[in-house]
Amino acid sequence: MTAEEMQYNFELKMGTLYSLKKPFISYDINQFLNESQDSLVEGHYSVRDGDRREHFEVDEKLRTELAELITNYNVQSTSFDTSNVALHANGAFVTVPTDFMYSLREECNIVYTDCNGNTASNTIRVKPITHDEYIMNVDNPFKKPYNELAWRMDYSSPTADTKRHELITDGDYSIQTYRLRYLRRPGRINILDGSDCELNVSLHEEIVNRAVRLAMATLPKTENVEQKTES
């Protein structure tokens, strides 16, 4: 469904398509559609069901619906920030893309010197940890990073709308490449410049439905009732 078709559907469901009294302009409808899209992506990414959290990769349907948003990002060590005063020991900042939303998989290519004194390389796991976990485990030889594991912590970025990942090693190996597979933020739907929804087509109708519910909630109650009566 194109952005224009979304507006058509939106107005059809609002009961304003064949009315010359239109409570919302395209700019407003953009806001409703984007809010709806964002909430839908958030909801599909993970849902808390009591104590349990369901992740989007739990079934084929959800995987397909968000597949368009899965993106790869590779950063070479030359782009790492290793001199920032905010860094922990053995840490390096990596700025993640502006459209980064949630990380799905992270790994690093490292080089290190093995027990025979030879240079070796390896692809290792990256474990996201909290600041509490860092403090608790940084001196724990059984949990701290080693040549099969790096830690990752979150940090802000000086640039608006971006964040940085702080990669922490054990100091004995060096990271060559940080490979991130992430769920990106979907592009903005824009009726005015014709930017269409990037999500899977099967979600478009639901985005419009949610947008209609959001819009209906903003109308004064009397108008809301009138709309329902007219439709």
Q: Are 84 and 93 in contact (CB under 8 A)?
A: yes
Between 29 and 66, name the residue whose CB sits nearer to other proteins.
29
Between 17 and 58, name the residue whose CB sits nearer to other proteins.
17
Between 11 and 65, name the residue whose CB sits nearer to other proteins.
11
Tell me 195's DSSP state. Answer: B
Minimum CB–partner distance for residue 101 and other proteins (Å): 28
CA angle, 216 then 219 then 224, to 5°: 70
Minimum CB–partner distance for residue 32 and other proteins (Å): 14
Instruction: Tally the residues of the chain.
Output: 231
Minimum CB–partner distance for residue 84 and other proteins (Å): 42
Nearest to 166 by CA among 157, 179, 153, 177: 153
Between 19 and 72, name the residue whose CB sits nearer to other proteins.
19
Minimum CB–partner distance for residue 19 and other proteins (Å): 8
- Give the binding site for other proteins (CB under 8 A): 2, 4-5, 7-8, 11, 17-18, 20-22, 25-27, 191-192
Between 35 and 107, name the residue whose CB sits nearer to other proteins.
35
Q: What is the CA radius of gyration of the chain?
A: 23
Between 26 and 103, name the residue whose CB sits nearer to other proteins.
26
Minimum CB–partner distance for residue 6 and other proteins (Å): 10
Q: Are 166 and 154 in contact (CB under 8 A)?
A: yes
Minimum CB–partner distance for residue 3 and other proteins (Å): 9
In degrees and rounded to multiples of 5, residue 11 shows phi and psi of -70, -35
Q: Please state, in angstroms and rounded to a whole number, the distance separating the CA atoms of residues 228 and 107.
A: 53
